[in-house]
Structure 1
Amino acid sequence: MTAPLEGIRVLDIATFLAAPFCGTILADFGAEVIKIERPGTGDSLRCFGTPAPCGDSYVWLSEARHKRAATLDLRRQEGAALFRRLVAQSDVVLENFRPGTLERWGLGYADLARINPRLVMLSVSAYGQTGPYRDRPGFARVAHAFSGLAHLAGEPGRVPVVPGSTSLADYISGIYGAVGVLIALRHAERTGEGQHIDIGLYEPIFRLLDEIAPVHAATGFVRERMGADTVNVVPHSHYRSADGDWLALACSNDRMWQRLALAIERPELADDPRYATTPERLARREEVNALVSAWMGGLSTSEILARCEREEVPCAKLLTIEDIFADPQYDARANLLRVTDPRAGGLTLPAALPRMSRTPPRLPVAGAALGSSNGWLFEELLGLAKEEVEALRIQGII
């Protein structure tokens, strides 16, 4: 079966996660992604996190899947010249240097578009290519802070906490980047014109914060930390079972409250004027939470889940990664894929998304060794002689 993005060539000159994750998504669906790294050291992601037996980190093996690995020093004139030749034969460039860096090397979008007018370039930086903060550095943790997300994470009056993952902004920026690249490729297909995609790392996180911006504009309301609770509905939080497990309960409307009353086996609560409507429950948030906490605290996890499933109330145990590996739903959906890598041996990697009925993603091939595709790239693709390639290697250009 021909992969849907087969024939699309992507040059990934970015580091760590945000822009590279866009390349990972494209590669999962058949794009030829060439990871270009600094000679000698490579992408810092190779040594970030837990090292695998092959020396590269497990996150590298997972997130650099399917990519060819080559080395090239873009800072040197000879390296920049070779990169321009690659651009002439490619469709997409992914980068996350600070704004102005590639322009100083003569490799900015305007420079590359003169070589290849159909070129699509994705730039992911801390604050975007414009604005007073464009030159500031930043990582996902800083993006979580600047977007407003970190302010909301944690208990009222306590230290704000990490919102689940320090890499959330990287991954979501990569997803938005992939959407942008596919839109731009469609436009180029129709018009012959490429374009530059510009994402500030904080922007995708800010975009996902539901009603917070329009409500503040309309009313001046400033949302604060609420722990596990949710601003507009209750009960919609985490509650503890008699087993000591935490469970997530999502009672998002009055109909769901009626179902929960049946699960609790107190059907009279459904029509109780103190609780029957969302505004009434919000006015008695602590009372409602105490009621649900007392109910869950008197039952085992399995009994709570059984009652909620019986009455179609959304509820789930907060899973650890150990729980996930044993869960039948994850197994049925093949969310964890076991592969054998010639360098790292047996690996378990998260499956690619989304699931597609006619054009499914490829089975993952783990991230490659540094420079493992140099021969293919410089000799086969660019047509250099072996002697030329060896000379470039000795000079540290590749």
Structure 2
Amino acid sequence: MAGLRVLDIATFVAAPFCGTVLADFGAEVIKVEQPKGGDSLRQFGTISECGDSLVWLSEARNKKTVTLDLRQAEGAALFKKLVAKTDVILENFRPGTLEKWGVGFEALRQINPGLIMLRISAYGQTGPKRDEPGFARIAHAFAGLSWLSGEADGPPVVPGSTSMADYVSGMWGAIGVLAALRARDKSGRGQFIDLGLYESVFRLLDEIAPAYAKYGTVRERMGADTVNVVPHSHYCTQTGEWVALACTNDKMFARLAEVMGRPELAKEFPTSAIRVQNRDHINSLVAQWMAKHSLADVITLTREGGVPCAQIYSIREIFEDPQYKARGNLLRVEDPRIGELVVPAPIPRLSETPPEFRHTGRPLGADNEDVFMNLIGLSADEFRAARASGVI
């Protein structure tokens, strides 16, 4: 993505994560923040010795950082100068906010007809809820994911990470940006990408929409189980560790039956439909077998038998696992402010043009002089005046 310039004027994670992905692959991403305080992500999560959060140091990686108050007329004017030299803008304000400041998409495309703008908001740019606020937790609830998360007889719970919708939206946003760039290659015209946080999650929920539309099926919470497949759950070993087991088809179940020393089970319960009808019984058989074997034995036996099975890891086990080490998933980097830091390595790997980590999230306004003076040509006096007035 070298040669692509991106203005990230968004906050927190969703749209900015799109910028992180693009920056990992070489795009010049300029993070634009409010002069006082900057992006709230700097104070979200564990605060490090430098005053910025670990989330900021990791997720604002590879980005230049500048400060600019878009709410002031002078700030909007400087922003438009940046837009004239930009390919992509990332924003996640409530719909209508940029228009109120005079820097909405239609106004900016008059300056730069090839401009691409990613617009992520809670509910998208249209519809009766367009003006309502929202975060990832709200998206999980509205999209139907929280309803599915938890034990059958318990309340809805957080589906893993409270920020999942934000990260997923950032990835969908990156797909949209890449598609828009491809379209611009042919037409020369830019466009905006409209994405609601809840849509990013809803699109991932397999068959729940067609199953309800066709048969009126409302999927309920099932704990660790899976709706159409058994055994496909979490089980506790004799030594107290939990493992995930996935028997997604008849062949896998036959392999598991052999591993358990119960090959007759494959004949007694030959299809997924039959196993689903006998869910509790089969889960009980698997749980009893797991409870008689140590974690090491379970992992060895299932691996030798060709049955997908893995220990359920905390971050401690992740740091100790040789697969993570072999793949370089835990990247040790040096931050000039706090020293050594371990962050998730950029993905995906490309054989010819892999992503790379250049630096951690930078201090507030670290690149002001470079961007405002060298990129858009402010004089030293103009730069000092803008800074003194609070525009920068």
Specify the TM-score bucket, using the shorter chain as the normaliser. over 0.9
Given that 2:168 and 2:201 are in contact with CA atoms closer than 8 Å, whether structure 1 keeps it comes out as yes
Residue number among 305, 308, 314 corresponding to 2:302 in the alignment: 308
Counterpart of 2:69? 73
Counterpart of 2:137? 141
Structure 2 residues without counterparts, runs of 5 or longer: none
2:155 aligned with 1:159, yes or no? yes
After TM superposition, the structure 1 = structure 2 runs for residues 304-383 of structure 1, keeping only pairs within 5 Å, are 304-383=298-377
Structure 1 residue runs of 4 or more that deviate by more than 6 Å after TM superposition:
none
Structure 1 residues without counterparts, runs of 5 or longer: none
Q: Secondary structure at the match of 2:264?
A: helix
Q: Which amino acid in 2 is paired with 1:278?
A: S
Given that 1:339 and 1:364 are in contact with CA atoms closer than 8 Å, whether structure 2 keeps it comes out as no
2:28 aligned with 1:19, yes or no? no
Counterpart of 2:205? 209
Q: C-alpha separation between the residues in 1 aligned to 2:331 and 2:153? A: 42
Given that 2:45 and 2:55 are in contact with CA atoms closer than 8 Å, whether structure 1 keeps it comes out as yes
CA drift at 1:344: 2.0
Deviations 1:111-165 (A, max 9, x none): 1011000000000000000000000000000000000000000001211110000
Given that 2:61 and 2:357 are in contact with CA atoms closer than 8 Å, whether structure 1 keeps it comes out as no
2:6 aligned with 1:10, yes or no? yes
2:239 aligned with 1:239, yes or no? no
Q: Which amino acid in 2 is paired with 1:375?
A: E
After TM superposition, the structure 1 = structure 2 runs for residues 218-233 of structure 1, keeping only pairs within 5 Å, are 218-233=214-229
Residue number among 373, 382, 390 corresponding to 1:388 in the alignment: 382
Deviations 1:21-56 (A, max 9, x none): 000000000000000000021000001010111110
Q: C-alpha separation between the residues in 2 aligned to 1:362 and 1:122? A: 23
TM-score (norm 2): 0.99
Q: C-alpha separation between the residues in 2 aligned to 1:290 and 1:148? A: 29
Residue number among 113, 117, 135 corresponding to 1:117 in the alignment: 113
Q: C-alpha separation between the residues in 1 aligned to 2:261 and 2:112? A: 67
Which deviates more from structure 2 when the two are superposed, residues 289-298 or residues 261-270? 261-270
CA drift at 1:363: 2.3
CA drift at 1:15: 0.2
Q: C-alpha separation between the residues in 1 aligned to 2:256 and 2:266? A: 8
Residue number among 262, 265, 285 corresponding to 2:261 in the alignment: 265
Residue number among 40, 44, 51 corresponding to 1:44 in the alignment: 40
Q: C-alpha separation between the residues in 2 aligned to 1:252 and 1:225? A: 19
Q: Secondary structure at the match of 2:193?
A: strand
Deviations 1:155-182 (A, max 9, x none): 0121111000000000000000000001
RMSD, aligned α-carbons: 0.6
Aligned length: 392
CA drift at 1:364: 4.1
TM-score (norm 1): 0.98
Q: C-alpha separation between the residues in 2 aligned to 1:363 and 1:104? A: 36
Q: Which amino acid in 2 is paired with 1:47?
A: Q
Deviations 1:76-114 (A, max 9, x none): 000000000100000000000000000011111101011
Counterpart of 2:179? 183
Q: Secondary structure at the match of 1:267?
A: coil
